[in-house]
Structure 1
């Protein structure tokens, strides 16, 4: 039975499959330099890195882009159903998450009276 590793909230760096220096270079890389930067990382590690990054809101897109460099079977071995879904997402055009977006509603801390002014 395949079991994905459990991520720890206590020490996220411990859960990252690459050293912090490598993660920093990947996070700062321009889109066109990313493929070259990750090509030296074994595919199984790239798959775990894709899952790790996808699970964090601020690196969500980066996780999908790294997943695109992996085979579906490798992603499935790394994370089961999540890996399968990540493989599917990485093969379609990226659409940023829409959660938290509610059109152009304005928020005022001053209450209704502040909006009339």
Structure 2
């Protein structure tokens, strides 16, 4: 008789159907907002924590978390939920890291060598 397969813990289960998850993954901003509005707040917070914990869905997790309250995220994920809340509302533009006096390099004025 084959050994029973271990079932992933409940924390590893996606809180929404695969159809909803696919719609969120492929949808544009308007579609994502519409779908998220129909998901109860507690489920939405669990979904944000679930997605954020998956490296390939990290950005989508932040997007879902931006539609959650801090209270819901903390209730679902504790301190990690508070961090997720803050990150979902942070400005994620990369900072320019040039030293003072360092010039920008541009190839716009360079000539092609024949």
Shared fold per TM-score greater than 0.5: yes
Structure 2 unmatched runs, 5+: 1-5, 95-114
Query: What does residue range 41-56 of structure 1 map to in structure 2 within 5 Å?
Result: 41-56=39-54
How many residue pairs were aligned?
88
Q: Which residue of 2 aligns with 1:111?
A: none
> For the aligned residues, what is the CA RMSD?
2.4
Any runs of at least 4 consecutive aligned residues in structure 1 with deviations exceeding 3 A, and if so which?
Answer: 8-12
1:36-56 Cα shifts (integer Å, max 9, x gaps): 121000010000000011011
Secondary structure, aligned partner of 1:41: coil
TM-score, length of structure 1 as denominator length: 0.67
Larger-gyration structure (1/2): 2
Structure 1 unmatched runs, 5+: 1-7, 97-117
Is 2:32 the partner of 1:37?
no
Aligned residues of 2:24 and 2:31 also touching (Cα < 8 A): no
